[in-house]
Amino acid sequence: MSNHTYPRRLLDDAIDRAVHDLAQRDPRPGFRRRVLAQLNAAPPRMSWVQKVLVPAAAMAAVLILGVWLRPSPAPTQMVSTPAAVPQAPQRPPVTVPPEEAKSPPRPVREAARRIEHKREPGVQFTFGPPSQRVVATSVSNALRAPRAIDAVPTQQIADDPPAALPLIRVAPIEGPAEITLKPIEIRPIAIAPQTR
Amino acid sequence: MAESTDRVTAAQASEVTDLDLVRLAQAGDLDAFGELVERNRRAVFRAALAAVGSPSEADDVAQEAFVTAWRKLDGFRGESQFRTWLLSITWRKAIDRRKSITRWLKLAASPSRDQAGEDMFDVMERVPSLERTQDSALESSELQTQIKKLIGTLPRKLRDALLLAGTGEHTYEEIGRMLEAPVGTVKWRVAEARRVLKRKLAAMGYSDE
């Protein structure tokens, strides 16, 4: 292999020259014209307003369409099928045992069912005597809680033959029962003066 | 051809800053953008050339960079120099081109060409003539050939820094932005590239006194 020795600076100059040769080139003539030709052929630039408003309007249209075309919720269907569960006779809804009512029980709408009602012992009525509607708390006397969704009057249970187990039917939900609250009466408490 | 009064004329072009031209171009003035192309074409082309190594590919990349800059011009807020922003776009385009599979297929299909590009090492037309004897001229030509081949074998990080620094168009800050490296790292890479070249040249028999 031939040996070439150069002055220190010459080798650096040779490297510089090679790098400049490789790196210091110019584009072919007409570069600006070529670029502008491409820009003229390209689609027009959208302003930022168009870039923001057009997609936003499209999204809003999709959302509005989705809300408008959304199907209304269907009423809940009964779970039991006629073939599997034999039909039981319809029982009128009675939710309050007669011994507890301080006033005669009001007629209850057929559709209004009391859902499972469990009474805790030892808790007082807060909003007056029970009406045939939603009660806030439990009762003063313990009661046997009806287990079925459709509450059955005590007398009727006694009359019915005990052979078959009560059928559980899921009644359609008609909506929440109307809530009425008795106004609270605040009576001043008379405090007798203390004597020493 | 009559010039529109609201367009940039050739006489006014030299007095207008890049930022002014950018604002006009953002408003849709294509002539203003054309002036930006003219002012920055060499820097953009040479940056692309440093990455792809081939003048024809560098020309394509440079054109793509300007087209992309035109499309994204609304996103330029003026926080940095327009040229710096443009060079970042150019470098990304060039690297994408360098990595593209079609480019490798083309090079593989033409094995007679050098790996760096079709006329990258066309030495006989590129070596400047020196006032030496014929023997020293040939020796110089041979040395140049060897150096250029060795530059092509450098690790990419060193080669990119060395070639970008050798364009004569880019500051170290601009090179740092393109390479996403601090200025100190760029300077180190340039120096390291030269050290590696000298070591390899020494291994080939070319050495300093």
B21: its two tokens: 């031209």
How is residue B6 annotated by DSSP? T
Q: Is B114 helix (H, G, I), strand (E, B) or coil?
A: strand
Could you tell me which residue, B126 or A138, shows the higher pLDDT?
A138
Confidence grade of residue A166 (pLDDT, cut at 50, 70, 90): confident
* B25 CB within 8 Å of a chain A CB: no
* Distance from C-alpha of B68 to C-alpha of B73, rounded to nearest angstrom: 8
> What's the Cα-to-Cα distance from B82 to each of A42, B40, B70, rounded to whole Å?
22, 10, 12
Could you tell me which residue, A33 or A171, shows the higher pLDDT?
A33
Q: Which of A16, A26, A35 sits opposite B37 (nearest CB)?
A: A35
pLDDT for the residue numbered B127 = 40
A2: its two tokens: 């031939």
pLDDT for the residue numbered B70 = 95
pLDDT over 80 (residue B41)? yes
* B127 CB within 8 Å of a chain A CB: yes
pLDDT for the residue numbered A186 = 80
pLDDT over 50 (residue B125)? no
Q: Would the CB atoms of A31 and B45 count as touching at under 8 Å?
A: yes
Q: Would the CB atoms of B148 and A3 count as touching at under 8 Å?
A: no
B48: its two tokens: 């692309």
A1: its two tokens: 């292999």
Mutation target for B interface from A5, A11, A36: give the one with most B CBs within 10 A: A11
* B27 CB within 8 Å of a chain A CB: no
pLDDT for the residue numbered B15 = 78
* B81 CB within 8 Å of a chain A CB: no
Bridge partner residues of A5 (DSSP)? B207
In this structure, the number of other CB atoms found within 10 A of the CB of residue B138 comes to: 11
Reported as a single tens digit per residue, the pLDDT across A100-117 is 445 555 555 554 455 545
Q: Which of A17, A24, A35 sits opposite B167 (nearest CB)?
A: A24
pLDDT over 70 (residue B29)? yes
Residues of A in contact with B53 (CB under 8 A): 22
pLDDT for the residue numbered B204 = 87
- Distance in Å, alpha carbon of A53 to nearest chain B alpha carbon: 15
Reported as a single tens digit per residue, the pLDDT across B141-180 is 889 999 999 999 999 999 999 999 999 999 999 999 999 9
Nearest CA in chain A to B69: A39
- Distance in Å, alpha carbon of B166 to nearest chain A alpha carbon: 6
pLDDT for the residue numbered B181 = 97
Q: Would the CB atoms of B73 and A45 count as touching at under 8 Å?
A: yes
Q: Is A149 helix (H, G, I), strand (E, B) or coil?
A: coil
Q: Would the CB atoms of A14 and B140 count as touching at under 8 Å?
A: yes
pLDDT for the residue numbered B38 = 95
Name the least confident of B67-76, B100-109, B135-144.
Answer: B100-109
pLDDT for the residue numbered B35 = 95
B196-B197-B203-B204 Cα dihedral, nearest 10 degrees: 160
- Distance in Å, alpha carbon of B49 to nearest chain A alpha carbon: 7
Q: Would the CB atoms of B208 and A3 count as touching at under 8 Å?
A: no
Which of B193, B116, B108 lies closest to B157, judged by CA? B193
pLDDT over 70 (residue B1)? no
AA identity, residue A18: A
Could you tell me which residue, A46 or A98, shows the higher pLDDT?
A46
Q: Where are the alpha helices (DSSP H) in chain B?
A: 10-13, 18-26, 30-52, 55-71, 82-99, 101-109, 123-126, 134-153, 156-165, 172-179, 183-203
Reported as a single tens digit per residue, the pLDDT across A114-163 is 554 555 555 566 666 666 665 555 444 445 554 444 455 555 555 555 56
Give the end-to-end CA distance of chain A in Å, rounded to a whole number: 129
In this structure, the number of other CB atoms found within 10 A of the CB of residue B38 comes to: 13
- Distance in Å, alpha carbon of B107 to nearest chain A alpha carbon: 19
Query: Mean pLDDT in chain B?
Result: 83
* B73 CB within 8 Å of a chain A CB: yes
Give the whole-number percent of chain B exceeding pLDDT 70. 75
Most confident of A40-44, A66-70, B27-31: B27-31
pLDDT for the residue numbered A19 = 96
Q: Please check whether residue A24 is in contact with residue B46, taking contact to mean a CB–CB distance below 8 angstroms.
A: yes
pLDDT over 50 (residue B129)? no
Nearest CA in chain B to A49: B74
pLDDT for the residue numbered B144 = 93
Q: Which of B28, B59, B147 sits opposite A18 (nearest CB)?
A: B147
Mutation target for A interface from B145, B150, B151, B200: give the one with most A CBs within 10 A: B151
* Distance from C-alpha of A134 to C-alpha of A149, rounded to nearest angstrom: 15
Q: Which of B28, B163, B201 sits opposite A19 (nearest CB)?
A: B163
Reported as a single tens digit per residue, the pLDDT across A10-60 is 889 999 999 999 999 999 999 999 999 998 886 665 666 666 788 888 899
A170: its two tokens: 């899921």
Confidence grade of residue B10 (pLDDT, cut at 50, 70, 90): low
Q: Is A49 helix (H, G, I), strand (E, B) or coil?
A: helix
Mean pLDDT over A61-71 rounds to 88
Q: Which of B37, B163, B209 sits opposite A5 (nearest CB)?
A: B209
Q: Which of B33, B38, B151 sits opposite A18 (nearest CB)?
A: B151
Is residue B163 exposed (0-12), middle (13-18) or buried (19+ Cβ within 10 Å)? buried
Residues of B in contact with A26 (CB under 8 A): 42, 45
A32-61 burial code (b ≥16 CB/10 A, e <16): bebbbeebeeeeebeeeeeeeeeeeeeeee
Residues in chain A: 196
